[in-house]
Structure 1
Amino acid sequence: MRILVFANTPAHVHLYRHAVDRLEEAGHDVLVLTREYACTTDLLEFFGLPYRRYGEHDVTSSSKLTLARQLGGQIGSIVGKAVRFRPDVVFGRGPYAAVAGTVARAPVVLVLDDEPGDFNHSVSRPFADCILSPRVTRRNLGGDHYTFDGFKECAYLHPEVFAADDAVREYLGVGPDESYALARFNALDALHDAGIEGFTREQRRDLLQRLSGHATVFVSDEGGEMDLHELPAEPYDLHPALIHDAMAEADLLVADTGTMVTEAGLLGTPALRYRGTDDHEYGEFRELERVGLVEQFDGYDAVRSRALELLADDESTDRWAQRRQSYVGDLANLTDLLVDVAETRGTIDDLDRSSQKAIQQDTPQ
């Protein structure tokens, strides 16, 4: 079989990387199409995945008009690459996968979460042969929509898949018992981020100064705009492929971005999300709040106070670890499901028994 996969962001690389490895080991021909965005191609290189670029995402503008213009040029490149590769099935999301599947006359499998990009869903949904999303999302996407117990991050953070690198503390230069926190600041340059604001510059500086009184602080700045020379914090400068190992060992993650908050929660690390002006209600965060793995805040003072409270609490990491142990292991191993769906070309009725048990048709909450 020939399987085409779209990895447009670092999170997409993680979503598919184990499935790509397993499909190649089974003798299938897999191609990953990607764009230059953040550390996406760095991750593809690190994990040795077979990829080709179809374009570049300009992070200098987050306007919908600019992003739409970029999309037009990228679609043309995608068409040519998809026709030449001749896939038997296409995995992805949004107009990218829809166009590739249409021109290649191949089934399209969309793997979605609860992000608010109605444009992506509206464009791609009519072309999808199979849509997979977490059961906690609340969208009804029709008869070809199937949900699973878990999160898209379960493809790489499920206990059956993820094992932390014990040497990450040595890589970071922190001691075995040294407390450290991660602060993640969003670039807010994706299509669904247009018009949203997270931490202000002043709030970022204040947060880092306050956190540093309780722990060593590492900063992951997606936009790359922060000057840390006069602040009591260090840049997170390990290879981006090691970020989950760093999160697993951390005492706290504070962020105004979604994916890393979800990841930290699933790893059993206290995770705080500052919503800023993002008023969308996400099913994933609501579920992780319910089980005590993630906390969300509308106001800056509230998230700062809670962060300091958790760093001063010597038992907080143990509580989160216990919650993870009792919750995450019962979720679906999404990599298993992706591999099975690929090998059946998105035909749900042909899945093996274990995969059919893992999904349910069109029942978003």
Structure 2
Amino acid sequence: MRILVFANTPAHVHLYRHAVSRLEEAGHEVLVLTREYACTTDLLEFFGLPYRRYGAHDTAASSKVRLAREFAGQAGRIAAEATRFRPDVVFGRGPYAALAGTITRSPVVLVLDDEPGDFNHTVSRPFATCILSPAVTRRDLGDDHYTFDGFKECAYLHPAVFEPDRAVRDYLGVGSDERYALVRFNALDALHDAGLEGFGRRQRRDLIERLSRHATVFVSDEGGGMDLAELPARPYDLHPALIHDAMAEAALLVADTGTMINEAALLGTPALRFRGTDDHEYGEFAELERVGLAEQFDEYAAVRERAIELLTDESADDRWQRRRREYVGDLVDLTDLLVDVAEAKGSLEAVDRSTRRALRPRSAST
């Protein structure tokens, strides 16, 4: 079999990387189509995944019109690569997977979440053989939409596939018992981030200065515009493939970005999300709040004070790890599910019994 996978962001690489490796080990031919964006190709190289580039994402192109123009300029390359590869099934999301599946007349499997806006869903839904999403997703995308108990991040952070490497402390230069916090500032340049604002400049500086009184602070600045020279913080500058090991060892993650909040929560690390101007209701965050693994805040002062409270609470680590053990182990191992759906060419009637039990029609559960 030939399986085509679209990985347009770092999160997509993590979503599919274990499935790609297992499919290759089983003798299938897999190709990842990607674009230059953030550390996406760095991750593909690190994990040794077979990929080709079809273009680059202009981080200044945050409006829907500019993003549509960008895609139009890349469509020819996507069509050519897909035609050359002749896939038996296509995995991805949005117009990218829809175009490749249409050109090659291949089944299309969309793996979606509760992102805001309708663009990706609208353009790809008519071309989908099946749509997979977490059960907490609030959307109902029709008869071909199936849900599973878990999160997209379960493909790489489920206890069955993730084992943290404590050597990351040596790489970071922190002691074995030294408490440290990760602070992540979003670039807000993705389609679903258009028009949003997260931490302001003064808030960023204030947050770093306050947290540094209680823990070592590492800053991951996705936009790359912060000067940390005069601030009591270190840049997080390890290879991006090590971020989950770093999160697993951290005492706290504070961010105005979504994916890393989900990831830290599933690792049992206290995760605080500042919404900023984002008023979209995400089913994933609501569920993680419900089980006590993540918290969201509308006001900057509230997230800052909660962060300080957790850093000075020596029992917080144990509470979050206990919640993780009680909750995450019962979620679906998404890698198993993706591999089975790929080998069934997207036909859920052909998957094995355990996968069929793990999936349920969205329309029947709303």
Identify the TM-score tier after normalising by the shorter chain.
over 0.9
- Following superposition, the deviation at residue 65 of structure 1 comes to 2.3
**Structure 2 match to 1:305:** 305
**1:174 is matched with which residue?**
174
SS of the aligned residue for 2:223 comes to: coil
By how many angstroms is 1:361 displaced?
Answer: 1.0
Instruction: Report the RMSD for the aligned CA atoms in angstroms.
Output: 0.7
- Aligned equivalents of 1:76, 1:303: Cα separation in 2: 45
Per-residue CA deviation, residues 106-132 of structure 1 (Å, 9 max, x unaligned), is 000000000013100000000000100
Q: Which amino acid aligns with 1:356?
A: R
C-alpha distance in 2 between matches for 1:277 and 1:358: 35
TM-score normalized with structure 2 length: 0.99
Q: How does 1:26-37 map to 2 (within 5 A)?
A: 26-37=26-37
Q: Distance in 2 between matches of 1:7 and 1:175?
A: 35
Deviation at 1:60, TM superposition (A): 2.7
Amino acid at match of 2:294: V
Task: Report Cα offsets for 1:32-76 as digits up to 9, x if no partner.
Answer: 000000000000000000000011001134222222211111212
User: 1:275 — aligned with what?
Assistant: 275
2 CA distance for matches of 1:41 and 1:203?
32
Pairing of 1:66-77 with structure 2 (within 5 A): 66-77=66-77
Give the equivalent residue in structure 1 for 2:88.
88
Letter in 1 for 2:316: S
The residue number in structure 1 matching 2:331 is: 331
Counterpart of 1:189 in structure 2 is 189
Match of 1:350, SS state, is coil
The 5-angstrom pairing of residues 84-163 of structure 1 reads: 84-163=84-163
The amino acid across from 1:200 in the alignment is G
Partners of 1:220 and 1:139 in 2: how far apart?
31
Tell me the SS of whatever aligns to 1:75. helix
Counterpart CA distance in 1 for 2:68 and 2:348 is 33
The alignment-based identity, stated in percent, is 78
TM-score (norm 1): 0.99
Letter in 2 for 1:143: D
Instruction: Tell me, in whole angstroms, the C-alpha distance in 2 between the residues paired with 1:257 and 1:114.
Output: 14
Mapping of residues 177-256 of structure 1, within 5 Å = 177-256=177-256
Aligned partner of 1:355 in structure 2 is 355
2:341, 2:265 → 1: CA distance? Answer: 27
Q: Deviations over 1:71-97 (max 9, x none)?
A: 111212101110110000000000000
Q: Which residue of 1 aligns with 2:164?
A: 164
Q: In the TM superposition, what whole-angstrom CA distance separates every residue of 1:117-165 from its partner, at most 9, and x where no partner exists?
A: 3100000000000100000011111111110000000000000000001
- What is the letter of the counterpart of residue 185 of structure 2? F
Number of aligned positions between the proteins: 365
How far residue 362 of structure 1 moved from its aligned partner, in angstroms, is 1.6
Once superposed, which parts of structure 1, at least 4 consecutive aligned residues long, lie more than 6 Å away? none
Report the AA paired with residue 198 of structure 1: G
SS at match of 1:183: strand
Residue identity in the other structure for 1:105: R
Counterpart of 2:47 in structure 1 is 47
Residue type of the partner of 1:349?
E
CA distance in 1, matches of 2:184, 2:160: 26
Question: Partner residue of 1:287?
Answer: 287
2:286 and 2:362 map into 1 onto residues whose CA distance is 19
Cα displacement (A) at 1:330 = 0.1
- Which ranges of structure 2 fall in alignment gaps of 5 or more residues? none
Cα distance in 2, alignment partners of residues 308 and 74 from structure 1: 46
Secondary structure at the aligned position of 2:184 is classed as strand
| CA distance in 1: counterparts of 2:24 and 2:135, whole angstroms | 29
Give secondary structure in 1 for the equivalent of 2:272.
Answer: strand
The separation in 1 between residues aligned to 2:155 and 2:97, in whole angstroms, is 19
Distance (Å, rounded) in 1 between the aligned partners of 2:103 and 2:291: 43
Measure the CA separation in 2 of the matches of 1:317 and 1:61: 40
Which whole-Å CA distance do the structure 1 matches of 2:322 and 2:339 have between them? 30
> Counterpart of 1:131 in 2: which secondary structure?
strand
